[in-house]
Amino acid sequence: MNRSKGYHITPLAAAVLWLATSTFFAHDAAAAGIVASIEKATVVADGDVSGRPTDIVITFDGSLDQSVPGRSLAAGDQIKVIFPPEFDLSDIDPAYPVADVPTPGQCVPNDLRCTTAVLLQGWPEQPPFPPAAHHTMSIDTAENAFILTAVQDIGPISAASPGIKQLFLIMNGVRNPEPDVYHIQVESQTGQDGAWETGSGMLKIVPRTRPSINITSVFVKALAGVLSGSPACGPGTLPPNPDNPIYQTTQAGEAAPFVWSFLLWGKNNDPLDDIGLSWVGANHARLVRGQKTVGHVFINTPSGAEGHGIEVNPYNCPTWLPGAPVIGPTFGIGPQAVGRLDLRFWAGSEPGEYTTTISMNGGNSVQMTVTAE
């Protein structure tokens, strides 16, 4: 296991960290109102690529930490996502009709031959309830809007079910337009007593796949060893999975309870497998594949922390997957082969927040938080 001794990030390292993660934070400047960001979904390499199916996640403002309550939507109330005319919702590919999840034989995880959406509670593969129970899907061609209508009240219940924080649009029947930046409007009856709230964000459509690192939750329970009879390297639970790997709590000097599992793609939709860490210092490692650096890892620690570190592939799981979780073998869409990287974080000697930022060269960044008590 590669464990590091703690020290503070130097001014030079802090500058490198800012540059490495500037793409991650820049989305805030392009969003307004209740929308924090609009980005490619985590389960595909090309959800924002011109000519490919639109597969995006809209994140609402507010913390994704499960201890912070999200939004509520009462039965009969709606969330509308209004697209510019370049996304023509009146011309959806009939091979992928608008449908609710699940619709047997047509719109189920791993065979999403549909155009649909799922509400999320702040981390991947975590809807508020089994999808069939909480909303229906429809299209308003006059407004060019994608509409979710609640069929039962949806709202915060507990830290395991904190309410609505994200909207995952799986628009397999819609193709992304020419590369450009597009304005998307959101209108949502998630305000007080069902009042309409509004927000907007910019979606950048790119000409080709960029490197990306993407957190997934489908392996969480299996890797934690809490599923009897489930192989450690296989899927733990498909949605819903009430364990958030992005925000975790442990004791000082102990491992985080859940291993981080990431899906990685490089340029041109290539899966990135056999990824390792090459440590530059206690708080900085290069993400390497063979002799090539493909990204960077930075750890921000509490003052005086020592002994924190990251263990690579602790269960020796396969690092190449024939198909990304959730999308699976959907005809015309998948499977999309993908690299897998499992990391186990160990907190250092001091209590407080340990924040790890992982950035891909020429691509995106992710940020994970472990709080030591």
What residues are paired with 96 via a beta bridge? none
Mean pLDDT score of the chain? 90
* C-alpha span between 131 and 108 (Å, rounded): 10
The two tokens of residue 286 are: 């290069």
pLDDT of residue 130: 67
- Cα-flanking dihedrals φ and ψ of residue 14, to 5°? -65, -40
- Which residue bears the tokens 């915060």? 156
Cα separations in angstroms, 339 against 21, 143, 205, 276, 360: 21, 39, 23, 12, 13
List, for residues 273-291, the tens digit of each pLDDT value: 999 999 999 999 999 999 9
Q: What is the pLDDT of residue 232?
A: 83
Instruction: Say if 249 falls within a structural domain.
Output: yes
Q: Quick one: pLDDT at residue 29?
A: 60
Q: Are residues 49 and 171 in the same domain?
A: yes
Residue 309 sits in a domain whose CATH number is 2.60.40.10
What's the domain count of the chain? 2
Quote the pLDDT of residue 110.
87
Q: Which of 177, 205, 233 is the last residue of a domain?
A: 205
Fill in the amino acid letter for 300. N
Do 271 and 178 sit in the same domain of this protein? no
Half-sphere exposure of 62 (CA within 13 A, CB side): 18
Backbone phi, psi, residue 190, to 5°: -105, 10
pLDDT tens by residue, 176-228: 999 999 999 999 999 999 999 999 999 999 999 999 999 999 999 888 877 77
- CB contact at 8 A, 330 and 318: no
Q: How far apart are the first and last CA of the chain?
A: 23
**1 in any annotated domain:** no
Pairing of strands 115-120, 135-140: unpaired
Q: How far apart are CA 249 and CA 260, in angstroms?
A: 13
Show which of 156, 185, 205 is a domain's final residue.
205
284 and 169, same domain (yes or no): no
Cα(349)–Cα(250) distance, integer angstroms? 12
The Cα 6–Cα 335 span in angstroms is 41
Does a structural domain hold residue 24?
no
Q: Cis ω on the peptide bond leading into residue 240 (within 30° of 0)?
A: yes
pLDDT for position 28 = 53
Per-residue pLDDT, 234: 87
pLDDT score, position 109: 86
Give me the pLDDT at residue 242, please: 80
Do 107 and 182 belong together in one domain? yes
Residues 187 and 308 in one domain: no
192 within some domain: yes
Does 82 fall in a domain?
yes
Coil vs helix vs strand at 220 = helix
pLDDT at 14: 35
Q: Rounded to two decimals, what is the model's pTM?
A: 0.90
Q: Under a CB-based contact definition with an 8 Å cutoff, are residues 79 and 137 in contact? A: no
Are residues 127 and 252 both part of a single domain?
Answer: no
Structural domain that includes position 353: 11-18+211-372
Residues 6+ apart with CB under 8 A from 40: 46, 47, 48, 55, 56, 57, 212, 364
Domain's final residue, options 205, 225, 241 = 205
Same domain? For 54 and 163 the reply is yes
What stretch of H or E contains 32? strand 32-33
Same domain, 129 and 67: yes
pLDDT of residue 230: 72
With a cut of 70, which residues of the chain have pLDDT below it? 1-29, 130-131, 229, 237-240
- Is residue 166 domain-shared with residue 97, that is, in the same domain? yes
CATH of the domain at 183: 2.60.40
Q: Are 210 and 255 in contact (CB under 8 A)?
A: no
Residue 4 within any structural domain of the chain: no
Cβ-in-10-Å burial (0-12, 13-18, 19+) of 22 comes to exposed
